[in-house]
Structure 1
Amino acid sequence: MKIARLSAILTLSILSSIGCRTMVVSTWVPSDTSQGFSTVRVLLSEATNEEKFKSSGTIEVLDANDLIIKKAYEFVSLDPTLLKAPVKITSNGDYLEYKGSRYRGIIEIKPTNGKVLIINIVNLEQYLMAVVPSEVPASWPMEALKAQAVCARTYVIREMLARKKQMYDVDTTTNTQVYLGMTKENQNTTRAVSDTQGLILLHNGAPIQSFFHSNSGGITEDPQNVWGNKVEYLKSVRSDYDKEGENYSWEEKISPAQITTSLSSLGLGEIQDIVVVNRFTTSRVNEIDIIGTKGSKRIKGTELRKLLGAVKLKSTRFGIRREDDGNFFVKGLGSGHGVGLSQWGSYAMAKENFNYREILNHYYKGIDFARMSQN
């Protein structure tokens, strides 16, 4: 039976789960079986005219035909800007070190459109072994770590499907998922990845957009209020467990000079006041008036957060006023965009003995669990 492009053909199978309990899950077979999902392409950086790579063994630089063009022990340096075609860097050691971080797999250097990209090609499950502890503390309860592992796996599969014609699938930052390499690996998070091996989340047969954030401040957000698109399985839900987490409640004091500098692109001169106009039902700011010496402008709360930065404005669930001393006082709840799984909510739910399936079903509605047929 054929369904939408990102859809899957589902066949029932039984997957053993926690303890002696079992759950029925699907097997996900992508509609385009020519695309493999065993490795992930992670953008590490854009190359400069001198890049250095280290390893615990012999390093080889290979051309497009896998012919050795350079060989060294433990250390190699090259100028990627001179390359006219891609090269691969491999090692018979346990890792390749680049800019102080150690990575599994191989590294590809690819010239493209006037740039040279440095990309780590790594096994999917090994990639997750580094991502999960890069996103949440490895000391967290196991069920929260498993929930994060399933989220992270689903997220990267969705990105791989969307970017299959591009040069890479994800980067190492919060733009996609944080990936800090082997040095972040921990036996607890490695177990969480292993115990959920191959598991992803589906909606109508397709991998979901498994967005997650640090702390919802008590209620998650509808993605339509953040990015303008409604997603059926990403509904706003209560997340009272967030109260135990970092940045559930926060305060900031921002000087007039900082505000004016951050909002200079609006062309309003010196900022005199900032006034919340209206909010969504989640209490997050929808629209806000910026008043300056050269005029005023109404912008979205999400735009203000981009301009001020996520460090100063941790979420759009905030209030702001100008104090008698001229500074702007900001008080808010939560950290991040608020869509999908709250990591600190997951942490507290796991402490209350919710398992990872219950946690994921709380934050994502109408989803199915599936095991990948290619892993």
Structure 2
Amino acid sequence: MKNFKLILSVLIVFVLMTVSANAQNLDIKIGKSYSNGESIELKSKSNFNIVIDNTVSIKTNTKNLKINFDGKDIKVLNNNKVLVDSFQTNGVMLISSDQPISVNGMRYRGSISFRINNSKLDVINNVEMEDYLKGVVPKELSASYPLEALKAQAIVSRSFAMANINKYKKLGYNLNDTTSSQVYRGLDAEEKRSNEAVDSTKGLMVYYEDEIANTIFGASSGGIVADASEVWGGKSIPYLTSFMDNYSTYSWNLSLKNSELQKIFGKYIYSLDIFEKDSSGRVSKVLLNGTDELKTSSFRSKIGNAKFKSTLFDIEKTSDGFKFTGRGYGHGVGFSQYGAVEMAKQGFKTEDILKYYFKGTDIR
């Protein structure tokens, strides 16, 4: 055991200054952030290895590891024996296995490392792009949908990942596993048909001129795609502008009582009006009680984005509150998943679908 620790310590000295990024791999933050005193169980059907700088691999002769975090240092243990007493958190060191690794019961391809951010421990899955996509596509679009739509989603997700690869660079990883990046659930999420969609489109991405396009996507445009610059501000992006969408016509309605709104906003709402719309007809501001302007994005998030499905809506006053009748699901920018499914059902091919939603782009 002492020799193992000595070898590990010596090797770390030589590799700390030579960290290099692997363009084919992504560092994905998975699961929650762990507090001081919490532990993580790692399991595999094959023995674990400690990998240093992707070049040196040291066998541990165990299929079970426990990760302890004391708020400062990360210890790797097996049967209460310390294997690594200060696991490096800069991506130099990885825990790998020849078989998938279970992290507190959820299985992942690739290897595992750690970062410390805001005094909490983040678990990082270092995974090849194509394996990452196999854990993304079926969570973003049901594997029961037409293959051409799944292939489109695979290309969109691959392009999105590459275009946003530095999103969390300051925190030491590329993307997380939530909707703020893309939903990713590792090996346990994989389905045969969605894996086929990933494999059959391997390496393909959406390009605008010579750059990988930032392929923003959402559930449904509600019949008209939104302009990214109007939704989030900034410069207009040629392939993320507004246009009529003939294939995504999702509709919804929601009734809220005055008492519910009062609980949400902390005051009685006796009037609620549309104050401002953007070029796609989406409501950008609402007016509460005739005087209080509120951005609709804030209004929607306070009620709940899954409940108040879009900003493309009308308001009707009722006897005890308000009724909202809307179209679309999500921000409405870029690729519409429901639209892609409908296009695939009508016989459109993957490239047709992608070029419909990202005008002026190429797939290569």
What TM-score, normalized to structure 2? 0.82
Amino acid at match of 2:218: H
Q: How does 1:115-130 map to 2 (within 5 A)?
A: 115-130=120-135
* Dislocated runs of 4+, deviation >4 Å: 60-71, 161-166
> Could you report, residue by residue, the CA deviation over 1:268-304 in whole angstroms, capped at 9, with x for unpaired residues?
x33322211232232211221022xxx8411222221
Once residues 161 and 63 of structure 1 are traced to their aligned partners in structure 2, the CA distance between those partners, rounded to angstroms, is 23
Which of 34, 57, 68 is the equivalent residue of 1:47? Answer: 34
Structure 2 segments unaligned to the other structure (5+ residues): 1-19, 75-85
How many residue pairs are counted as aligned between the two chains?
323
Q: Note if contact 1:42-1:172 (Cα within 8 Å) is conserved in structure 2.
A: yes
Which of 164, 167, 173 is the equivalent residue of 1:168? Answer: 173
Once residues 59 and 160 of structure 2 are traced to their aligned partners in structure 1, the CA distance between those partners, rounded to angstroms, is 36
> Could you report, residue by residue, the CA deviation over 1:18-61 in whole angstroms, capped at 9, with x for unpaired residues?
xxxxxxxxxxxxxxxx8642111111131232112222222345
Once residues 126 and 256 of structure 1 are traced to their aligned partners in structure 2, the CA distance between those partners, rounded to angstroms, is 48
Q: How does 1:103-142 map to 2 (within 5 A)?
A: 103-142=108-147
Once residues 350 and 157 of structure 2 are traced to their aligned partners in structure 1, the CA distance between those partners, rounded to angstroms, is 13
Q: Does 1:37 align with 2:23?
A: yes
Q: Which residue of 2 aligns with 1:154?
A: 159
What TM-score, normalized to structure 1? 0.80
Higher relative contact order (CA 8 A, sep 6+): 1
Once residues 224 and 124 of structure 1 are traced to their aligned partners in structure 2, the CA distance between those partners, rounded to angstroms, is 29
Q: Note if contact 1:61-1:71 (Cα within 8 Å) is conserved in structure 2.
A: no
Q: Does 1:338 align with 2:327?
A: no
Q: Does 1:302 align with 2:307?
A: no
Q: Which residue of 2 aligns with 1:58?
A: 47
Amino acid at match of 1:47: Y
Once residues 174 and 162 of structure 1 are traced to their aligned partners in structure 2, the CA distance between those partners, rounded to angstroms, is 13
Q: Does 1:189 align with 2:194?
A: yes
> What is the Cα deviation at residue 166 of structure 1?
4.5
Amino acid at match of 1:195: S
Q: Which segment drifts farther, 44-53 or 62-71?
A: 62-71
Taking only aligned residues, the RMSD between alpha carbons, in angstroms, comes to: 2.3
Q: Note if contact 1:62-1:70 (Cα within 8 Å) is conserved in structure 2.
A: no
Q: Which segment drifts farther, 45-54 or 126-135?
A: 45-54
> What is the Cα deviation at residue 344 of structure 1?
0.5
Q: Which residue of 2 aligns with 1:232?
A: 238
Q: Which residue of 1 aligns with 2:211?
A: 206
Structure 1 segments unaligned to the other structure (5+ residues): 1-33, 371-375
Once residues 306 and 298 of structure 2 are traced to their aligned partners in structure 1, the CA distance between those partners, rounded to angstroms, is 14
The alignment-based identity, stated in percent, is 31
Q: How does 1:75-94 map to 2 (within 5 A)?
A: 75-81=64-70, 82-83=73-74, 85-86=88-89, 87-93=93-99
Once residues 282 and 244 of structure 2 are traced to their aligned partners in structure 1, the CA distance between those partners, rounded to angstroms, is 14
> Could you report, residue by residue, the CA deviation over 1:72-103 in whole angstroms, capped at 9, with x for unpaired residues?
32x3222123325335322232x111243211
Q: Note if contact 2:43-2:102 (Cα within 8 Å) is conserved in structure 1.
A: yes
Once residues 67 and 52 of structure 2 are traced to their aligned partners in structure 1, the CA distance between those partners, rounded to angstroms, is 14
Secondary structure at 2:134's aligned position in 1? helix
TM-aligned CA distance change 1:69 to 1:251, over 3 Å: same
Amino acid at match of 2:282: R
TM-aligned CA distance change 1:138 to 1:288, over 3 Å: same
Q: Which residue of 2 aligns with 1:353?
A: 347
Secondary structure at 2:46's aligned position in 1? strand
Once residues 298 and 188 of structure 2 are traced to their aligned partners in structure 1, the CA distance between those partners, rounded to angstroms, is 35
Q: Which residue of 2 aligns with 1:318?
A: 313
Which of 40, 62, 67 is the equivalent residue of 1:72? Answer: 62
TM-aligned CA distance change 1:54 to 1:271, over 3 Å: farther
> What is the Cα deviation at residue 319 of structure 1?
1.7
Secondary structure at 2:270's aligned position in 1? strand
